[in-house]
């Protein structure tokens, strides 16, 4: 009996290597808005650039997670068709800037993100804006779960990683709703890494073997959770989510859409495809990626490119001639 051919024997097209041009463009266009206090201006610049480059990619994509109804966005909205229509049929999730407030205030950890999976495989978070999440690396598979207390999760993950509890670090969004969670983490003997925004980067850092973060937990955006799941598929980690409406209106809409608020959504529930792509480019410097930097006549970007089918993680360092971008600006002025 012959064995199944490996990805090495029959390599196919990695569309993430084309998508990275869109996140690079979005990140570069956001740079003039860093520290300017205008998050809407930064977001619009990134959206315009990302949409332009997405239109050149050979795929037949539908945006499942976009700027969306929540942001009343005129472009990259949920349901919009993207790509040139001549490639594979895909679900697309975009966040031209995950961390618009970070960008506007000049703080670290803002990134530009695109995630892709086979058509019909991405969880559609319509009306469900918030969810409880827990993310960890490969050591956490079969170990951590939303079924357990945060203290038990920390204790069992520490044991699986061969670490003392005092060495464990949990990333949590710095929000009033997390005061009790933060206290519980510290009472268990672990440390916290409080994030102002950007829980996509927080979740990915929790799954990376070289990261100083061991786990990411708390209530954050459902769209960001689905995007993170596409990355965790490649990194071999564990992720669970449970919808957690933050207002009476959201609760009403989520129940009307037929969602079960008690159901724990595991990785395959968030994205069922085993062929996911994830691309992120740093906007401002962060633990996950360096931000956009001007290096003499060049603009330098750093990106993370992940593909679950092959289990491949790439870091892409690109140097763009600044003069070319200035020429493009002049042509559209």
Beta strands 130-136 and 238-243 are: antiparallel
317: which strand partners? 302
| 175 marked ligand binding residue | yes
| 98 marked ligand binding residue | yes
| 4 marked ligand binding residue | no
| 43 marked ligand binding residue | yes
Beta sheet of 215-221, edge-to-edge order:
191-195, 169-173, 215-221, 130-136, 238-243, 265-266
| 130 marked ligand binding residue | yes
| 69 marked ligand binding residue | no
What region, left, alpha or beta, does residue 250 occupy, with left being phi > 0 and alpha being psi -120 to 50 degrees? alpha
Say how far apart CA 192 and CA 200 lie, in whole Å.
17
- 197-232 core/surface letters (b: 16 or more CB in 10 A; e: else): bbbbbbbbbbbbeebebbbbbbbbbbbbbbbbbbbb
| 221 marked ligand binding residue | yes
| 219 marked ligand binding residue | no
| 99 marked ligand binding residue | yes
| 212 marked ligand binding residue | no
DSSP code per residue over 186-208: HHTT-EEEEESS-HHHHHHHHH-
Q: Which residues are annotated binding-site positions? A: 43, 67, 95, 98-100, 130, 175-177, 197-199, 221, 224
Q: Which residues are annotated binding-site positions for substrate? A: 98-100, 130, 175-177, 197-199, 221
Q: Which residues are annotated binding-site positions for Mn(2+)? A: 43, 67, 95, 98, 224
């Amino acid at each position: 009996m012959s064995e199944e051919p490996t990805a090495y024997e029959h390599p196919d097209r990695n569309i993430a290597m084309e998508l990275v041009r869109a996140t690079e463009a979005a990140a570069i266009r956001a740079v003039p808005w860093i520290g300017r206090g205008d998050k809407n201006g930064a977001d619009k610049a990134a959206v315009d650039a990302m949409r332009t480059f997405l239109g050149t990619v050979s795929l037949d994509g539908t945006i499942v997670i976009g700027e969306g109804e929540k942001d009343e966005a005129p472009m990259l909205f949920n349901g919009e068709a993207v790509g040139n229509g001549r490639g594979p049929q895909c679900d697309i999730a975009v966040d031209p800037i995950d961390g618009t407030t970070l960008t506007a205030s000049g703080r670290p950890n803002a990134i530009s993100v695109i995630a892709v999976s086979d058509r019909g495989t991405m969880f559609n978070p319509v009306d469900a804006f918030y969810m409880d999440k827990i993310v960890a690396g490969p050591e956490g598979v079969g170990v951590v779960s939303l079924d357990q207390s945060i203290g038990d999760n920390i204790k069992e993950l520490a044991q699986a990683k061969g670490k003392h509890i005092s060495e464990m670090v949990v990333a949590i969004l710095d929000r009033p709703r997390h005061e009790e969670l933060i206290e519980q983490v510290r009472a268990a003997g672990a440390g916290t890494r409080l994030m102002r925004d950007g829980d996509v980067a927080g979740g990915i850092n929790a799954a990376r073997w070289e990261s100083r973060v061991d786990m990411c937990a708390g209530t954050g955006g459902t769209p960001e959770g689905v995007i993170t799941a596409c990355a965790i598929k490649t990194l071999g980690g564990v992720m669970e989510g449970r919808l957690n409406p933050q207002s009476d209106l959201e609760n009403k809409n989520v129940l009307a859409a037929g969602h079960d608020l008690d159901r724990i959504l595991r990785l395959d529930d968030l994205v069922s495809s085993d062929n996911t792509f994830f691309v992120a480019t740093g906007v401002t410097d962060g633990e996950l990626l360096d931000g956009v930097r001007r290096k003499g006549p060049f603009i330098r970007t750093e990106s993370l490119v992940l593909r679950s089918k092959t289990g491949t993680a790439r870091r892409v360092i690109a140097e763009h001639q600044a003069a070319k971008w200035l020429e493009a600006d002049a042509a559209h002025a």
